Structure 1
Amino acid sequence: MYVSILKPFFDRLTAFAVLIIASPILVLSVILLWFANKGNVWFLQERPGKDGKIFKVIKFKTMTDERDAQGNLLPDDRRLTAVGKFVRKTSLDELPQMINVLKGDMSIVGPRPLLVEYLPLYNQQQRRRHEVKPGITGWAQVNGRNTLNWPERFACDVWYVDRISFALDIKILFLTIVKVFKAEGVSSGTSVTMEKFRGNT
């Protein structure tokens, strides 16, 4: 009953309230990112949701599209603007995903939606992360976030799928708030973003 009825209800109610309360911050972020990214504020990308269904995730764009002489994108750390770095550090880039929650594509709590290209790379156990809606925050995010390696992240995702409950969601939300204030786990040990998943060896 919680997963099918109560959780979707609380998700939409929470998302609506957050968007209303955070609207001044959202507007300010849009203005700052408009100037920092030369008019490019939004990051839209296809991601797999529940049962692998594809949807477009909505985030603030924290990096420019600067390229080298050969037309290749510059490394992430060179494209990350000062404003973008602050937005990422405070997790403000995740706020627009509340729109995805209102649409029913995502949940507040659940495994993070990853790239579509990863779908054929999962083993049977890892693929179970798609048994539930993806979330803005999740068990992996409060247990290391981008400092975890891929097997650890997937293990956290499946652990959550097997134990999903109202009490666990509340615990994850509380821990998320703590992590945001401490700005922990934003970058991996070797990159400003998480390295790509290359499959299981």
Structure 2
Amino acid sequence: MYQQYFKRALDLGFVILSLPVTLPAVLLTALLLLIIQKGNVFFKQVRPGQHGKFFTIYKFKTMRDACAPDGTLLPDAERLTQIGQLVRRYSLDELPQLWNVLKGDLSLVGPRPLLPEYLPLYSPEQAKRHQVKPGITGWAQINGRNAITWEQKFNYDVWYAENQSFFLDLKILARTFVKLWKPTDIQAPGSATAERFTGTLPHAS
């Protein structure tokens, strides 16, 4: 079993050693969003982490708080700003999550932390993804990200939870950096972001 203190050491070592690169990127992204979008540049939301424990995740804000006449938020595609689209394309919106890694809420590698309302929708097998700490990137992210189905994502997440290792994390990080230079699979087909998970239909017997 992958010892947690080795994983924690990898997380802290990476965040600290990468500061000369990530800190200027954070400051520049925040400045651009402040100038172009105006207002608060950060987005925060409660997400379930390991064993379903809730924490607050931080990201750069890439959407406007635009609402329809009835007060409900407009679809993501209509709220996503041009600068926000660029920030998301290169995953710069994820940079503030390095703070979550320092705090211990997140790991660098693990299943992505999803919305709390998804918790009762998981099958018992899919719920195994919460046996490990969530991450900024993961096995599902380098194997299709938003271009694959939720069921495929969860299969990758559970496989990672059952097979995590130091060298697997290094492999995922290396492939993540390759994808940052050649961004793909950012959007679900026909959608500006990932589609919402509505549950897995039981297979017919």
Q: Structure 1-normalised TM-score?
A: 0.96
* Deviations, residues 57-105 of structure 1 (Å, cap 9, x unaligned): 0100111101122222122111111110110000001111010000000
- Aligned equivalents of 2:88 and 2:130: distance in 1? 25
Q: Which runs of 5+ in 1 are unaligned?
A: none
* Deviations, residues 108-154 of structure 1 (Å, cap 9, x unaligned): 00000000111111111000000100000000000000011110000
- Aligned equivalents of 1:193 and 1:17: distance in 2? 31
- Aligned equivalents of 1:176 and 1:129: distance in 2? 20
8 Å CA contact 2:2–2:164 kept in 1: the answer is no
8 Å CA contact 2:144–2:185 kept in 1: the answer is yes
RMSD: 1.2
Q: Identify which range, 28-37 or 100-109, moves more after superposition.
A: 28-37
* Deviations, residues 135-186 of structure 1 (Å, cap 9, x unaligned): 0000000000001111000000001111101111111111111111111110
Report the CA distance between 1:13 and its aligned residue.
1.7
Matched, 1:143 2:146: no
Give the 5 Å matches for 1:39-58.
Answer: 39-58=39-58
- Aligned equivalents of 2:55 and 2:99: distance in 1? 12
Matched, 1:35 2:35: yes
8 Å CA contact 1:126–1:154 kept in 2: the answer is yes
Q: Structure 2-normalised TM-score?
A: 0.94
Matched, 1:95 2:56: no
Report the CA distance between 1:14 and its aligned residue.
1.1
State the aligned residue count: 201
Match of 2:193 in 1: 193
Give the 5 Å matches for 1:23-172.
Answer: 23-172=23-172
In 2 relative to 1, CA 199–186 (structure 1 residues): closer, same or farther, beyond 3 Å?
same
Report the CA distance between 1:20 and its aligned residue.
4.0
Match of 2:6 in 1: 6
Q: Which runs of 5+ in 2 are unaligned?
A: none
Of all paired residues, the percent bearing the same amino acid is: 52
